[in-house]
């Protein structure tokens, strides 16, 4: 089925992804259907490596790319919130910039978007180390039990969202990893139609993962309690 999407904002949160950002940006651009008007935003969350300079070099060859920088590292959720606020097109797509997704699958999500307000991914076969997968499984289960909702993969960062959805669920309060759950929970409470699709997940070949950092994990559980109180 041909999609009705005519314009698309894409954004990638990035923190010290100098070894992956160019590959991720270029792969996404190549995967966008030719009939769609797009913008691509990199939200640099206070990187201390050459990530922002690499993005500036990409901008020289493509004026549809933009760079937004946080002066300091503010957290994954803050980067997502910044990207959502900056997105101006009819639909919004975001994914991680670590090259762990097959970005070509954005076409599948776009083609499936008719009659849905959100198309969210789940990692068909997660290609992460055992400990990271175990931590994520425990976290996912806690979120599902506490908030009483079900999706296959709460934290999968491969999402296509109608901009109207964001306008009706903002502001986004989570500063850390809970941001994905917050978006889905609020959208479900607003009765938006959500489709789940599998997405191919790849091993990280370059750069360093931060999701298994104990500070990141503790922040996530604190935010679970805080969001529950807010809702």
β-strands 91-95, 158-162 pairing: antiparallel
Q: Is 169 exposed, middle or buried (0-12, 13-18, 19+ CB in 10 A)?
A: buried
Choice between 160 and 213, residue whose per-residue pLDDT is larger:
160
Query: pTM for the whole thing?
Result: 0.90
Mean pLDDT computed over 214-228? 62
Select from 138, 67, 133 the least CA-distant residue to 100: 133
Per the prediction, the chain carries an average pLDDT of 91
Residue 209: the pLDDT is: 64
**Across 96-151, where does the E strand assignment appear?**
118-123
Mean pLDDT computed over 67-77? 96
- Asked if the model's pLDDT at residue 37 lies above 90, the reply is yes
**Sheet-wide strand order for 158-162:** 65-70, 37-45, 7-14, 91-95, 158-162, 118-123, 194-199
CA 18-161-132 angle, 5° bins: 50
Residue 137: the pLDDT is: 84
- Asked if the model's pLDDT at residue 36 lies above 90, the reply is yes
Mean pLDDT computed over 97-114? 96
Helix (H, G, I), strand (E, B) or coil at 70: strand
pLDDT band at 27 (very low <50, low <70, confident <90, very high): very high
CA 218 from chain centre, in angstroms, equals: 20
- Asked if the model's pLDDT at residue 139 lies above 90, the reply is no
Point out the least confidently predicted range of 24-33, 92-101, 212-221: 212-221
* pLDDT tens, residue by residue, 163-220: 999 999 999 988 888 899 999 999 999 999 999 999 999 999 887 766 555 566 666 6
β-strands 7-14, 37-45 pairing: parallel
Mean pLDDT computed over 16-30? 98
β-strands 118-123, 158-162 pairing: antiparallel
Residue 229: the pLDDT is: 55
């Amino acid at each position: 089925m041909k999609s009705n999407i005519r314009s698309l904002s894409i954004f990638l949160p990035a923190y010290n992804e100098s070894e992956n950002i160019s590959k991720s940006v270029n792969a996404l651009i190549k995967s966008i259907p030719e009939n769609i008007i797009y913008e691509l935003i990199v939200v640099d969350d206070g990187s201390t490596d050459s990530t922002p300079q690499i993005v500036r070099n990409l901008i020289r060859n493509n004026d549809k790319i933009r760079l937004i920088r946080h002066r300091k590292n503010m957290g994954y959720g803050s980067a997502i919130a910044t990207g959502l606020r900056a997105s101006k097109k009819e639909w919004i797509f975001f994914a991680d910039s670590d090259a762990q997704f097959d970005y070509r699958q954005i076409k599948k999500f776009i083609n499936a978007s008719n009659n849905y307000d959100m198309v969210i991914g789940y990692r068909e076969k997660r290609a992460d180390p055992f400990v990271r997968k175990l931590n994520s499984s425990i976290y996912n289960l806690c979120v599902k039990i506490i908030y009483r909702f079900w999706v296959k993969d709460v934290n999968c960062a491969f999402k296509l969202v109608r901009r109207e959805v964001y306008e009706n669920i903002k502001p986004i309060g989570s500063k850390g990893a809970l941001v994905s759950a917050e978006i889905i929970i609020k959208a479900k409470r607003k009765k938006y139609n959500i489709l789940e699709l599998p997405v191919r997940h790849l091993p990280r070949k370059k750069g360093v993962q931060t999701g298994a950092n104990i500070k990141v994990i503790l922040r996530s559980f604190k935010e679970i309690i805080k969001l529950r109180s807010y809702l």
